[in-house]
Homo-oligomer: A and B are copies of this chain.
């Protein structure tokens, strides 16, 4: 086993989910991540935690969803719900032998299934959860990289000094927390929103590993303007390119995409909440220096912002504000490296990717 696998497992257990003796843990991963599973089980045994492994197989998922058909009426799987309701911690390892495995499942079926399983997702988010990545040849291929180069990329991003990163990101949190108006401009993008009353969180590798962003929730009906997402969105094996969303009173009233617009439409039509933003995030992890078609990494890239349609994380929404609820949460990225600004309450806090608190800000 590569020694970085055990280091990765230690970061998950000690930093991300803060595993305690007696914790009931669910580890959900595909077979290809077996080494990481073994390392995690070793730590569970060492710490006196109780692991249950779920097998995430997109081949099986595809077979199930296609057989259920386009008109399927899915039920909430009560046994999966009971499992997560009794769990203290969850580790989801993203991976798999073929990232396009779900490419021939009708988007409507995927949407219907997501709606039915939302209580399960919600219960999982009530545990100490961590979503992480195991490097596989399929994900290397998606990124256009050799497997070894991709392994280095993943383990470098995961192996960051998280204490130092937290401090760096905290400077951006200070700028957003307590602020009201945010305006983001870049190319065809010009969007305004309020974040008043909502909390800005510092993602330093807890729920997401790698971490490396600060994020908050827009006030639900405050979003106005147009966003052109100039980086692709890779979704259920399909690539949405050039997505463009227009917001009025927070709601997406117009949308288009240069490629796979129907997939975008499927996402927006999932439920009422999937037409509202649930997240505004600012990518600050400069160890992630390339786009790899993998949102867990891409949204953390330096010089980017991302917005997610769909579910808002409860911890970002203030008591006075309505939380946007949805079975969806789809992040989309805007490149901020050139001719771009982020303004907070009228003041430019980032220009062309450089923050106001950095030396080369002008």
A residues neighboring B (CB under 8 Å):
22, 24, 26, 29-31, 34, 37-46, 48, 50-57, 59-61, 63-69, 72-75, 77-87
A41 and B26 contact, Cβ closer than 8 Å, known pairs A83-B79, A83-B80, A83-B82: no
Q: Are B79 and A59 in contact (CB under 8 A)?
A: no
Q: Are A60 and B75 in contact (CB under 8 A)?
A: no
A41 and B53 contact, Cβ closer than 8 Å, known pairs A83-B79, A86-B79: no
Of all chain B residues, the one with the shortest Cβ separation from A78 is B86
Contacts of A31 in B (CB 8 A): 30-31, 34, 55, 57
* Chain B nearest CB, measured from A244 CB (Å): 35
The CA-CA distance from A57 to B43 in the complex, in Å, is 16
A60 and B79 contact, Cβ closer than 8 Å, known pairs A48-B68, A54-B52, A54-B53: no
* Chain B nearest CB, measured from A196 CB (Å): 39
The CA-CA distance from A84 to B80 in the complex, in Å, is 9
Contacts of A68 in B (CB 8 A): 45-46, 48
CB < 8 Å neighbour of A63 from B41, B67, B72 = B41
The CA-CA distance from A73 to B85 in the complex, in Å, is 24
Q: Are A64 and B86 in contact (CB under 8 A)?
A: no
CB < 8 Å neighbour of A82 from B34, B56, B64, B85 = B85
Q: Are B59 and A46 in contact (CB under 8 A)?
A: no
Contacts of A77 in B (CB 8 A): 24, 50-52
